[in-house]
Amino acid sequence: EAGVTQFPSHSVIEKGQTVTLRCDPISGHDNLYWYRRVMGKEIKFLLHFVKESKQDESGMPNNRFLAERTGGTYSTLKVQPAELEDSGVYFCASSPLGTYYGYTFGSGTRLTVV
């Protein structure tokens, strides 16, 4: 079974540019989550999709971040315009509907804004 796949694995962009991160969850997993780890801080929840609907986006830092999950399959997280403090590792995780354990994380996208 393929795991959670994230692309790209690394991205270096200049302040003010736009970056789009992609996450492909495990097939059949309706729950999809985005998390972020900023250097020196703990991993923080960003948002949660159930299929194509945003269940909880309370962790999104501001309106420069836009997440979508068209058709309830893969998800994208766009940062526009990027700021220096957006640097960090962005993790995606998925789980089957109805479970609240056993999240499977992707290997993350390391974003550096310079």
Interface residue list for other proteins (CB under 8 A)? 31, 33, 35, 41-45, 47-48, 50, 55-56, 59, 91, 95, 97-103, 105-108
What gap in Å lies between CA 78 and CA 68, rounded to an integer? 9
- Of residues 82 and 93, the one with the C-beta less far from other proteins: 93
CB of 105 to other proteins, least distance (A): 4
* Beta bridge partner(s), residue 106: none
The helix/strand/coil state of 85 is helix
* H helical segments located in 71-114: none
Please say whether the beta carbons of 114 and 10 come within 8 A: no
- Of residues 75 and 95, the one with the C-beta less far from other proteins: 95
- Of residues 14 and 58, the one with the C-beta less far from other proteins: 58
DSSP symbol at 83: -
CB of 107 to other proteins, least distance (A): 5
